[in-house]
Amino acid sequence: MAVFVQDTFSGESENVDLTAHTGEVGASWTVIFGYPSCRLSAASGTVYSSGTPGNGAYASGVPASSEYDVEADVSDPASTGIAGRTSTTATTFYHARNNGTEWQLYKFVSGTATLLGSYADSYSGTKRLKLQIRDAAKKVFVDGVERISSGDNSITDAGRAGIRLILNNTVPRIDNFLATDLSGGGSQVGSDFAVVYDIRAQIYSDFAAAYDIRQTVSSDFQTVYDIFTSVSSDFEARFNILASISSDFACVYDIRQEASGDFEVVFDMHQLASSDFVTLYDMGGRVDSDFEVVFDIKTQTVRVRRSGLRLSLGLGL
């Protein structure tokens, strides 16, 4: 992931217009077509409304493609949000916000508003709001939890990342703005890639491992989870495989004690696996809650046991 906009909205005098401010990365701001601008609070280093409802601005940073994430801290009072695929010539964008009673996902096309989804939650304090923009789905996350997912893709231009404040309220409400695209993320791993988790003491909370693989895996890829004791809460391993795997891919889960929460492994495979793909779950203990393994294979596998997918379950109950 590469950051193409970052702004903490700090270092300015009180009540400076956002368009006169420059943030850390790709963050010179322009008002969204037809909207008034926003202002900055010097005391808190945040953005607030300028006195007229419906403020909005987009940042100068250009994403590498039309698929990217936009996120920011948003604080009550509500009706504050973030935008993506924001047009520089029209009032067109996707928009995530909370209106005081619910999180909402909107699309605005040439100023015409359509509500695409909502999740009831009258929050207080500060929340981390993320709008994940992919062609296949627009997702709203609140504090890392997915709340709304829409397949709408009627706005296709990459546009820009932006912010929007609906109510006229001078209370600071947006901070730590960040936009990341799918470029970068390191280069190819040319040799074997092995990860071993040799965990001999209890894990008292959630265990999560995420592998976001965006380049070709041309040699062996192996992960081993050798967990000798219990996991007291959820266990999650996620493999977001966006590139092809041309060699062997192996995952071994050797869990000798109980997992007290949910056990979830997700393989989100967008590309070809042209060699062996093996996962082994050797569980000596028990899972007290849900056990879920998801293989979301979005493209062809060269050979799946020649004639089909074989699933073997050996449950020592």
Partner 1 sequence: MSKRYYLCDILGDGTEENPFRPAVADHGVNWSGEVSTGDDGRPNKNFALAVVATNNHGKLLSDSRIDPLPEFPLDGKISAMHTAAKNGLTTAMQKRGIPTDLLSTSDGYREAIRGIGRYLNPNFHENNFDVSE
Size of the site for partner 1 (CB under 8 A): 33
CB 179 within 8 A of CB 5: yes
* 168 vs 49: CA distance, rounded Å: 6
Work out how close the CB of 105 gets to partner 1 at its nearest, in angstroms, rounded to a whole number. Answer: 8
Choices 9-17, 67-75, 110-118, 269-277; region in contact with partner 1 by CB under 8 A: 110-118
| Residue 110 engages partner 1 in binding (rule: CB under 8 A) | yes
Q: Which is nearer to partner 1, 118 or 246 (CB)?
A: 118
CA 196 to chain centre: 26
Radius of gyration of the chain (CA): 23
Is residue 109 near partner 1 by the rule CB under 8 A? Answer: yes
* Helix %, strand %, coil % of the chain (to 5): 0, 50, 50
Query: Which member of 34, 111, 184, 284 binds partner 1 (CB under 8 A)?
Result: 111
Nearest to 105 by CA among 63, 64, 62, 154: 154
Least distance from partner 1 to the Cβ atom of residue 14, Å = 29
Per-residue contact track with partner 1, 87 to 106, x per CB under 8 A? Answer: -----x------------xx
Q: Is 290 in the site for partner 1 (CB under 8 A)?
A: no
Q: Write down the least CB distance from residue 136 to partner 1, Å.
A: 5
- Cβ-Cβ contacts under 8 Å for 165 (sequence gap 6 or more): 38, 47, 48, 49, 54, 55, 56, 79, 80, 81, 173, 174
Tell which residue, 75, 33, 31, 34, has the closest CA to residue 170. 75
Site for partner 1 in 114-173 (CB under 8 A): 114-120, 135-137, 145-154, 166
Collapsing DSSP states into helix, strand and coil, what is residue 275? coil
C-beta separation of 17 from 50 below 8 A: yes
Q: How far is the CB of 113 from partner 1 (least distance, A)?
A: 4
Residue type, position 149, single letter: S
Instruction: Write the burial class of residue 217 (CB in 10 Å: 0-12 exposed, 13-18 middle, 19+ buried).
Output: buried
Site string for partner 1, 215-254 (x = CB under 8 A): ----------------------------------------
Q: Which is nearer to partner 1, 135 or 198 (CB)?
A: 135
| CB 117, min distance to partner 1, A | 4
Q: Which of residues 31-60 bind partner 1 (CB under 8 A)?
A: 54
Stretch that binds partner 1, among 13-21, 111-119, 252-260, 305-313 (CB under 8 A): 111-119
Cα angle, residue 152 at apex, residues 213 and 163 outer, rounded to 5°: 80
Nearest distance from C-beta of residue 112 to partner 1, angstroms: 3
CB of 226 to partner 1, least distance (A): 32
| Spatial separation of the C-alpha atoms in residues 166 and 152, rounded to whole Å | 23
Write out the residues near partner 1 by the rule CB under 8 A. 54, 92, 105-120, 135-137, 145-154, 166, 296
